[in-house]
A and B are shown apart, each in its own frame.
Chain A
Amino acid sequence: MHKLTFDIAHLRKYVNGELSSKEMHEVERAAHDDEMLSDILMGLEIEKSEGNPAVSFIDIHHKIVNRTQRKSASSSLLHNRPLQIAASILIILSGLLFWYNQDQHPKTEQTLIADAQQEIIGPSHDRIAEISSTPDSTVKLFSNPDYSPPRETNENIQRHQNLSGNPHSRKLTEQESQILAYTPTEKNIDFNQDLAGTLNLSHPKHENDVIIINTEGQDKYNLMASNQKKQTQPKIADTRVSSNPNTPLSSAQMRARLSSLGLDSQTDLIWGQVLDQRSKQPLAGVEVTDTQNDNVVLTDADGRFLYAANNKKSLKIIASGYRAKEVKAEDGSQTILLSPLEDLLDDIGYESKVLKSGKSIPTIGWEKYMTYLFAEIDKTTEKEYDLSVRMELNKDGRPTNVSIIRSSDKELNAKVIYLIENGSAWETGVDSKNIYLQIKPRK
C-alpha cells in the first residue's frame, strides 16, 4: 500500500499535463510500484490520444443499477416454486396443444413423435428463452427438461395430461395468464442463439451451488438465474459443479473453466497454484510467463493460474519478492513453491528513499557545491555534458574512491574526479559509502 493515493480525477489531470513536475513525478513513481495505477494511466492516455471526450459513466452506472434491480425484480417470480411448476406445465401444455393441432393433418406416427419431442423439449440446452412479461421488466426463464429430475417431468406431464383435455376449464390467475400469453408457441418465443455461451445457474438460497455450463458458443456469455433443483445434475459435457468454494478444482473442472473462454479444445492446458514456500500461502498476481512466446497470465487470489499452450516449453514464474522459477509446462496440476528473496531489492526506487532520509550533503550546501562544479567544468569545455559520479566519504567527510559511472564526455572524467576530491567536504549521511551524483547543468 502506498502513502499516496490518487483518484481518477487527479490522474486525469496528470494525463492532461495540469500537474507540477513534482506532482507528476509522484504519480509516475507510484505507477512504477503499482501495476493497477499504471494500467489506469495508460487507459486514460489512450482515451486522450483518441481525442474523445471523457466517457460518461452515468451510462455504466445505470447499466449496473439495471442489472442488479432486474435480478431482484425477477427473483420474486423465480423464487415462486408453484408458479414455476405452473409455468413448466403451461410450456409443455402448449407444446402438446401444438402437436394436437398438427394432429389434424395426416402424418405418420413417427413424425408425430418427433414433432412432439421437439415441441415439448423446447429450448435445447444451449438455448435460452427470453420472455418479456412486461415492457419494462424482463423475466428470463430457463426451460430445460434435461435438467429436471425425471420424476418431476413425469409428474408435470401427468398433470399436463389431466389439463390437456380442457385447458381452459378453470380460471387462470393474473400471473398465469401473463405467462400463458407468452407461452412458447413459435410466434411468441424468441430463441436468442447469440446468447449461447456460458450459462450460470445459481440458486439464490444456495449460493454455494453454482453450475456453470459451457455451451461452446463463440458469443458473449449470458448469465442466468434459475431456480433449478439443487440436486440437479447437469448431463452436458464441459460442466463444472462446485458445491464448496474451498474445494480445489479438478482437472476437468479447470478444463471446463478454460473452454468456457472460447479457446480451442486442442490446446494443452497447464494449470497450477503458486504458493509461498515458507508460509504455504497462495500468491496472487504472480506473472506466469511462457518462455516460448512471452505470453503472460497472472495468478488469481488463490494463487491459481491456467494457461493454454500449443507447445510444451517451460513457464517462468515471476513474483516480486520471490526468486523467479522456471517450471516444465505439463498438463494437469502442479503446485509451484516460490522462495521469498530475503534480501530483495524490489525496485530501485527504494534507494532514493534511503537517500532522502539522512543522505549526505556537501557542507557548503547543494547550490553552492553545484555552482562550483559547473563553473569549474565550464572552464574546460563549452559543450554540454552529463556525468554520473559515485563516491564514498571517508571518516573526515572527504570524498574518496570517486568514480565516473557514466559520462557524456570522457575527457572531463579526470577533471571532475579532481574537482570532487578537492572540493567541499561533506556531512556524512547513511549513504556515505555510496553517493551518487549527477552533474548536468539545467538549461
Chain B
Amino acid sequence: MKLYNADLPPYEEDTVLLAQYLQENDMEALGKLYSKHAEMVYYVCLRYFKEEEKSKDAVMQIFEELITKIKKQDIKSFPKWLYVVSKNFCLMDLRSKKGKEEISVDEFVEFPISMHQEESYSEKEGKLSSLEQCMEKLPEKQRVTVDLFFINEHCYKEVVEITGYSMNEVKSYIQNGKRNLKNCMDRADA
C-alpha cells in the first residue's frame, strides 16, 4: 500500500531522496522524504497514543530515530519500513509508560504482510473445502459477519444494517472470525 499525496510522483521520488541522504548525508533530502510520509506517521501514532499532541511530538521523535536508523538498514520500501519503525516506536513507548497489561493482543491488527500466491485450481479446491469446514466451526456471529463481509462483499456499514450488530461488534467479529479461520486453516495444514 502506498500512501501519497496525489500531486507527488510516487515510489521513485522516495528512492531518489533516500539515496541522496545516504550518499551525500543531505539532511534536507531526508526532511523532504519524511515530510511526504509525516501524515501517515502521525495517524499511526494517533491510533496508538490516542492523543494529538503526543502524536505530533512522536512524529518528530521518530524523525530523530530515523536519522541514524535509516543508515543501518537496507530499505526496499520506505513507507513500509517507516510504518514498522513508527509502530515499534509507539508500542515501545506505550509499554515503557503504561505497563504491560494495557496492551492486549486484541489491539493489534493481524495479518501484517499478505502474500498472495498463484496456485493451481486443485490446491484452491482443497483450501476451499477446509475453509468451509472452518467456517462451520466459527461462532455464529463471526460466521455471519465474515460471510457478509468477505463472501458477499458488503461494507461494514451494510453489515451493521443487515445484522443489527453495532459497528464495533461487526469489526471485532470479522477480525476474530478471520483470525479463527486462519488458525483453523493453519491447523488443517499442520
Cα-based distance from A366 to B92 in the complex (angstroms): 52
- Which A291-307 residues have C-beta < 8 A from chain B? 293-298, 300-302
Given known pairs A43-B45, A320-B114, A345-B185, the reply for A50 and B144 (CB within 8 Å) is no
Tell me the complex Cα distance, A419–B82, Å. Answer: 54
- Given known pairs A40-B43, A351-B150, the reply for A68 and B96 (CB within 8 Å) is no
Bound-state CA distance A443–B56 (Å) is 45
A323 contacts which chain B residues (CB < 8 A)?
A: 186, 189-190
Residues 36-70 of B contacting A (Cβ, < 8 Å):
38-40, 42-48, 50, 52, 55-57, 59-61, 63-64, 67-68
User: In the complex, A442→B149 CA distance in Å?
Assistant: 15
Say if the beta carbon of A261 comes within 8 Å of chain B: yes
Instruction: Say which residue of A296, A343, A346, A386 sits within 8 Å of B123 (CB atoms).
Output: A343
Q: Are B84 and A433 in contact (CB under 8 A)?
A: no
Closest chain A residue to B41 by CB distance?
Answer: A60
In whole Å, how far is B116's beta carbon from the nearest beta carbon of chain A? Answer: 7
Cβ of B71 to closest chain A Cβ, rounded Å: 6
User: Which positions 116-164 of chain B face chain A at CB distance < 8 Å?
Assistant: 116-117, 119, 121, 123-132, 135-136, 140, 143-144, 146-158, 161-162
Is A136 at the interface (CB under 8 A from chain B)? no
Chain A's closest residue to B79 (CB) is: A36
- Contact stretch, chosen from A20-28, A126-134, A167-175, A178-186: A20-28
Contact bitstring A324-346, B, C-beta under 8 A = 1, else 0 = 10000000000000000101111
CA distance A43 to B130 in the complex (A): 36
Q: In the bound complex, how far is the Cα of B35 from the Cα of A17, in angstroms?
A: 27
Q: Which listed residue (B113, B149, B162) contacts A320, Cβ 8 A?
A: B113
B47 touches A263 (CB 8 A): no
Minimum CB–CB distance for A367 against chain B, Å? 15
Q: Is the CB of A405 within 8 A of B136?
A: yes
**Residue contact B59 to A60, C-beta cutoff 8 Å:** yes
B1 touches A212 (CB 8 A): no
Which of A80-88, A109-117, A153-161, A279-287 is the contact stretch?
Answer: A279-287
Q: Is B88 an interface residue (CB 8 A)?
A: yes
A71-B27, A285-B112 known; A57 and B162 CB under 8 Å? no
Tell me which residues across on chain A come within 8 A of B190, comparing CB atoms. 323
Q: Which residues of A contact B46 (CB under 8 A)?
A: 43, 46-47
Chain A proximity of B156: nearest CB distance (Å) = 6
Listed from nearest, the 10 A-B pairs whose CB atoms lie closest are: A43-B43, A68-B31, A294-B105, A24-B155, A43-B47, A43-B46, A245-B72, A25-B155, A42-B47, A68-B27
What are 21 sample pairs from A and B whose C-beta atoms fall under 8 A apart?
Answer: A7-B4, A21-B155, A29-B153, A33-B114, A36-B83, A64-B31, A64-B60, A200-B64, A204-B25, A285-B84, A286-B112, A287-B112, A295-B103, A298-B88, A300-B73, A301-B74, A319-B112, A343-B126, A344-B189, A405-B132, A440-B162
Residues of B within 8 A of A (CB): 1-6, 25, 27-28, 30-31, 34-35, 38-40, 42-48, 50, 52, 55-57, 59-61, 63-64, 67-68, 71-75, 79-81, 83-85, 87-88, 91-92, 95-96, 100-101, 103-106, 108-117, 119, 121, 123-132, 135-136, 140, 143-144, 146-158, 161-162, 174, 178, 181-182, 185-186, 189-190
